Structure 1
Amino acid sequence: MNFPLVLLILLVTTGGIWLLDHFFLKHRRAAGSDEPWWIEYPKSFFPIILIVFCLRSFLVEPFKIPSGSMIPTLLVGDFILVNKYAYGIRLPVANLKIIDVNEPQRGEVMVFRFPEDPSIDYIKRVIGVPGDMVTYRNKQLSVNGVPIQAEPNGDYKYIESGLAYIYTERYRENMDGNEYSILINHEMPNIQLSAVHNFPRRDHCTFDHSGFVCTIPEGNYFTLGDNRDGSSDSRYWGFVPESHIIGKAFLIWWNFNDLSRIGTKIQ
């Protein structure tokens, strides 16, 4: 369901009824008579809907993490907040940028509309910005020919789909001053070539069994999940157009399974 569109329809409907009553209908009612329910309820809900609409559209929007692609940074069940103005002010529903603020930077966690199905929201880490050359060979990430340092940080295990334990290794990666944790499973292939889609501008990338090299086109971004061997990301479905960006993830505000995560800043 396109919740922003539903919210906009509710806002226009309740606001329209409020205006209609304010300028026309109330002057035709008998003095002291009650408002009909179809006027009373929309007028009562209009201010609330307006506040929610403005908050979600221009300030912050809540999201829930549905998969393990960003483990260990984000866990399944995390409820997060996304800064909607960090990357520019956009028109609601249309998502058209009208005011520039900042551009996504390497190492930041970004929420965006999935390029293959814009009705689905995705969250990944920005690895490459327009003009960058991103290389991933034998699980070593490089940007513009400079290897990104990843320091070993112990083992890590998690439950996948509630069925099995996954044992992997954790690393601390530092990209342009943004330090965060990633997982690498050295028993997994460098890349699953059969899963690479025929995405737009795929000619900007070359793939082989050791990994890939991609040059990021203008107006696009390259993303990876922190769970490097358990993520569907730009390696497989391509670049994120600027027009699909929603905002920057910055805070975990709730997790029913682990209350200690509440208030955790997203690195």
Structure 2
Amino acid sequence: TSKDFIKRVIGLPGDTIIYDSTTVRVDGVVLKEPYVSQPANPPPPHPWIVPANSYFVMGDNRPASDDSRDWGYVPRGDIVGKAVMVYWPLGNWELINTYPTVYAQIKVSQ
């Protein structure tokens, strides 16, 4: 598509993603997501296993976001940049925090 979207990368190649309306798990570890304020839409009946050279992305406004739950995985070549600020809603304007605690328990394979 010719449109760009800003989404949060949730899963890397090889990760297993499982979510319910309030919790996302990556490789069995619950993500602590302070930036998500509303529950997600109903989950799929199966986990997502991210293939090589692809990523699983989700929007922060989970009930209204079109993302990997709808489109599937995003190929590495389709990722064009990195967000640096949250601008909407205006009351939540801030520079992007990397939220190191979100992924703190996820083990990265070498």
Could you tell me which runs of 5 or more consecutive residues in structure 1 were left unpaired when the two chains were aligned: 1-116, 150-172, 174-179, 192-206
Q: Does 1:148 align with 2:62?
A: no
Q: 1:184 to 1:258 in 2, by over 3 A?
A: closer
The superposition leaves residues 88-128 of structure 1 with CA deviations (integer Å, 9 ceiling, x where unpaired) of xxxxxxxxxxxxxxxxxxxxxxxxxxxxx2x1101100000
1:123 corresponds to: 6
TM-score by length of 1: 0.33
Q: Does 1:181 align with 2:35?
A: yes
Q: Does 1:227 align with 2:58?
A: no
Contact 1:130-1:221 within 8 A present in 2 as well: yes
Contact 2:41-2:62 within 8 A present in 1 as well: no
Equivalent-residue separation in structure 2 for 1:259 and 1:127 (angstroms): 25
Higher helix share: 1
Q: Which amino acid aligns with 1:265?
A: L
Q: 1:260 to 1:182 in 2, by over 3 A?
A: closer
1:190 Cα offset (Å):
1.4
Q: Does 1:215 align with 2:49?
A: yes
- Tell me the SS of whatever aligns to 1:232: coil
Q: CA RMSD in A?
A: 2.7
1:265 corresponds to: 95
The superposition leaves residues 6-64 of structure 1 with CA deviations (integer Å, 9 ceiling, x where unpaired) of xxxxxxxxxxxxxxxxxxxxxxxxxxxxxxxxxxxxxxxxxxxxxxxxxxxxxxxxxxx
1:133 Cα offset (Å):
0.5
Equivalent-residue separation in structure 1 for 2:66 and 2:91 (angstroms): 28
Size of the aligned set, in residue pairs, is: 97
1:251 Cα offset (Å):
3.2
Q: Which has the higher contact order (CA 8 A, sep 6+)?
A: 2
Structure having the higher Rg: 1
Q: 1:214 to 1:258 in 2, by over 3 A?
A: closer
* Off by >6 Å, runs of 4+ in structure 1: none
2:22 corresponds to: 139
2:75 corresponds to: 241
Higher strand share: 1
